[in-house]
Structure 1
Amino acid sequence: MSFRAKCLQKICTFRKSACKKSVFSEKNIAKKINQQYKLLMKRKLYNDLLEWKASMSRKPLLVKGARQVGKSYLLKKFGEKEFPCCHVFNFEQDKKLNQIFESDLLPHRIITELSIYSEKKIDINNDLVIFDEIQECPEAITSLKYFYEDMPNLTLCCAGSLIGVKMSSGSFPVGKVNFLNLYPMTFEEFLMAANDKISLELFNTALTCDLQSDIAHAKLWDRLKEYYMTGGMPKVVSSYLSNRESRFEAMNTARIIQQELIEGYFKDFAKHSGKINSLHIVSVLENIPIQLSNNIKSSVKRYRFKKVISHKKSFSDLQGPIDWLIKAGLIIKVKICNRAELPLETFCKNNIFKLFLCDIGLLGSMLDLPPKAIISQDFGIAKGYFAENYVAQEFLAAGISKLHSWSERNSEIEFLRVMGENIIPIEVKSGTRTQAKSLGQFINKYSPEKAITLTGKSLNKAHGLKVNNYPLYLASKICDQI
């Protein structure tokens, strides 16, 4: 049975299970699932939108990200709160919009016709215009150049899937567009969505002290385990938090949505890459969780190319599908350095790297790990790869665009962080057993100014210590500390 067929089968199974064990009918469950963004999904990128709006050198803005990370929702909320009027044009929902861009790309004509078409006058000096799913209209992408040059007073935002924009047949307006990247919700954004003011305050003030109380640590650790199950896809988070009165229903509806999201990605593969290529892309994507789950007791190993696609076993065979998934924002690449010296790129090889999923919730779903087992951390000694995947996500969302790890002989460090002329090793452990032989070997060989462990232990960054321990849930915070 194909992975796609398994996905559909699981969706049906979860729905039937939820119906049997819940007082809610199938109709009510579907209604609850479709109440996307019922909760106010606050995103940290909102502050970047405000800065962009106020900028004197503002250009048309393109918010990029994988499918279903909340791009459209965020821009619409931004328009509703910050502008007297917001005009949304969705090129995927309304194919007729493409006709407006066919004759020419003159901004004044386009805005006039969009006003007529929507029966709503656009005030170019005060309103916000949103081109949603812009990848569906290559001419609209090209038109951004002329909006920048001929209509700089118009506030124009666009949302598009990463792979759709990159695969667009239109001419891209290089240098004429501002960019922002939106990723799945971070752990901090999960706390914001949950409106858990106590946990959020503990999270934001944790680094103001050198030691952390056990009670505060336990509170945030429990929240992190929930986030491990939901991940950061907004629709999943919204559904889970909306149904918390019934833990069983909350977890199962979240899992249903995760499976549906994966199925939706598979459809996107065929749409943008063709039937044969899409099969290879699916094979690579479904193999990543399998390889991750094979890592026992140690950090994630380099990605292996054999037995992923039939009759293909080399990097050159799989490079296309891997690069496609990276460009789509669905997987995260971490290069492996064989020496910890500057510049790190010099000590990396193109065919030696780690691969993670963009979202830890989808990782659990693709491995078919029971939600309850994830929250209770009861899925064996292999859970270290979950912690490493989580940290990779948090680092990427924190603005670290290039991720590196280190492997030399029998020693390995999960992440390296370059700060000025210093290379900081970051060891990741899923639990409270924090013996780090590799970290000791790294320190002896390279004598870094400081070293960091991310573990299940509470915060301990007392002055004078060479190695500072931070709890895993503060992964995004340490980016500012080092």
Structure 2
Amino acid sequence: MKRSLTHRLRKWKDSDNRKPLILKGARQVGKTWLLTDFGNQEFTKVHYINLEKEKRFHSIFKESLNPLTIISTLEIMLAVKIDTRNDFLIFDEIQECPEALTSLKYFNEELPFLAVGCAGSHMGIMLSMASFPIGKVDFLALYPLSFKEFLNAKHPDLIPFLKESSELKRIPEAVHNLLWEEFKNYYLVGGMPEAVETFINNGGNGYEAYEAVRSIHRKLIEGIQSDFAKHSGKWNATHIARIWEDIPHQISRVNNNSVSRFQFKGVIPNKSKFSQFEGPIDWLVNTGLAIPVYMVEQPAVPIKSRAKKNMVKLYLFDIGLMGTMSEIPIESILRQDYGSYKGYIAENYVAQELNSKGHQLFFWQGRTSEIEFLITAGDQIVPIEVKSGNRTRARSLEVYQKQYSPIISMVISSKRLSNTAGRLYLPLYNAGNAREIISSIISAPQHYLHIEESL
């Protein structure tokens, strides 16, 4: 599977100021595979060391943090020559050996020409008892496959049309319908690499393929839950689990067709205040398992300073896992017929796509109106309303536009690309390109004037 992050890995490789790399990401999103695949493509040789499975390597770092000594000992243990100028050294599950994490500081200072890539549990790394090499490492974040990455793996001949739509070019309705069918598959499968691979290997369609995916989801969910106790640190693992498991449960708490703020009462016995939830929520966010969206009442730059952290919506990091945790029937997802879940899944998908592009997410709430997402583009705040179906009347957006007069507003729905009166209607399958589209419109409004249809 091609991953979009590969181009950023190439930039890291070619940087004159390259430091050892730590690839962050939730469990099973493909960190190890991506580093190994990238290394095989870009370097003469890859040297892979799993510090969880191969405890014998720990003694190397306990005895010395000198990079040259470490390399010499690795050469003996691996029975291979390591070319420090042309090879790629991978430390997987680096959190299992705190001294190895500390050694990255010295690799940066004393052996900067050696490319070192690391993967592991993000929270495990943060909780390491070793001195973390602050300022001595580079970070990149990997997320579940986006819809574009999913489409590239399953139906790559549709990618040019997705690109055209992202460039605000109208595509034929027949192609739009094909993209929409694959998008419904993505709703069910999600972006966890093992689930996507299983789906494609089982024919990419049909009940048998969907059931195989659900089986993979259940296994992944069990694995994630087992990590709570292992890496929860000072936070109660049971509290973390209760909050995480309650995120999809709260989809029934819909207000004015939008997901309501996370309700604390009843989740953890005898606890109902945000201060009692803040630590476990931060843990879920920092591990990449939950996506927070904070409320603002007065949208203005800098928007982060106006956010109310105790008024938050929580979304899951993968739409496929959310459907399985919610036990939404496969047939209902394919028919797009699942009641109050429908809007929530659409919102969760948009949150997932925007989050993977590095957006900090906020929502606006007025007296009787609510905008699902606010994102920033330069010095502009862009409101985004999400509609799960073809009905795109955006009453809350009308209220917001009258009150704040944004340069551009966006409605994301199942309908084809169109625009009217400064409001862009974007298909759900293009949500991941929202930032690029918004930036091009703000810099050159004429880019989208050619779209003829208006709603």
TM-score tier by shorter-chain length is: over 0.9
Question: Secondary structure of the equivalent of 1:224?
Answer: helix
Question: Matches of residues 51-90 of structure 1 in structure 2 within 5 Å?
Answer: 51-90=11-50
CA shift, 1:381, in A, is 3.9
Which of 368, 381, 402 in structure 2 is aligned with 1:410?
A: 368
CA drift of 1:350 comes to: 2.1
Match of residue 167, structure 1, among 109, 127, 145: 127
SS in 2 for 1:469: strand
CA offset at residue 274 of structure 1? 6.4
Q: Is the 8 A contact 2:104 2:133 kept in 1?
A: yes
Letter matched to residue 436 of structure 2: D
1:273, distance to aligned residue in structure 2 (A): 2.2
Q: Deviations over 1:300-349 (max 9, x none)?
A: 11111000001111111111211111111100001110112222223322
CA contact (8 A) 1:213 1:458 kept: no
Shift in CA distance, 276/327, structure 1 to aligned 2, threshold 3 Å: closer
1:360-411 CA distances to partner (integer Å, 9 max, x unpaired)?
A: 01100111112232122121243101011001110111121x1111011111
Cα deviations by residue, 1:170-210 (Å, 9 ceiling, x for unpaired): 1111111111000111000001111x133211111113345
Match for residue 477 of structure 1 among 418, 426, 433: 433
Give the corresponding residue for 1:325: 284
Provide the residue aligned with 1:15 in structure 2: none
Number of the residue aligned with 2:245: 286
Mapping for residues 153-232 of structure 1, pairs under 5 Å: 153-194=113-154, 196-232=155-191
Q: Distance in 2 between matches of 1:234 and 1:69?
A: 6
CA contact (8 A) 1:405 1:414 kept: yes
TM-superposition CA deviations, 1:267-301 (whole Å, max 9, x none): 11111226981111110011110112332661111
Contact 2:254-2:340 at 8 Å conserved across structures = no
CA–CA distance in 1 between the matches of 2:57 and 2:358? 34
Deviation at 1:53, TM superposition (A): 0.8
Aligned match of 1:436: 394
Contact 2:161 2:171 in 1 (8 A): no
Q: Distance in 1 between matches of 2:51 and 2:213?
A: 29
Aligned partner letter, 2:394: A
The one-character-per-residue Cα deviations of 1:416-474 (angstroms, maximum 9, x if unpaired) are 12223322111111001011111000011111111110011101136xx3111000110
The 2-side partners of 1:114 and 1:148 are apart by: 18
Preserved contact between residue 164 and residue 170 of structure 2 (Cα < 8 Å): no
Going from structure 1 to structure 2, the CA distance change for 1:102 and 1:209 (only over 3 Å counts) comes to: closer
Distance 1:354 1:206 in 2: 30
Aligned to 1:460: 418
* Rounded Cα–Cα distance in structure 1 between residues aligned with 2:112 and 2:424: 49
Answer yes or no: is the 8 Å Cα contact 1:202–1:216 preserved in 2. yes
* Structure 2, unpaired ranges of 5+: 439-455
**Separation in structure 1 between the aligned mates of residue 255 and residue 390 of structure 2, nearest angstrom:** 16
1:151 maps to which of 108, 111, 121: 111
* Bigger mean CA deviation after superposition, 368-377 or 434-443: 368-377
Partner of 1:8: none
Aligned-pair Cα RMSD in Å:
1.5
Distance in 2 separating the partners of 1:60 and 1:275: 28
Change (3 A) 1:215 1:296: farther
Identity value in percent: 46
Question: CA offsets, 1:49-99, max 9 Å, x none?
Answer: 111111111111111101100000001101111112100000111111111
CA distance in 2, matches of 1:216, 1:246: 18
Assess if the C-alpha contact under 8 Å between 1:212 and 1:460 holds in 2: no
User: Aligned equivalents of 2:70 and 2:266: distance in 1?
Assistant: 51
Q: How far, CA to CA, are the matches of 1:275 and 1:415 in structure 2? A: 32
Runs of 4 or more above 6 Å deviation: none
Relative contact order, higher structure (CA 8 A, sep 6+): 1
**For structure 1, which runs of at least 5 residues remain unmatched after alignment?**
1-40
Structure 1 SS opposite 2:259: coil
Residue of structure 1 in register with 2:261 after alignment: 302
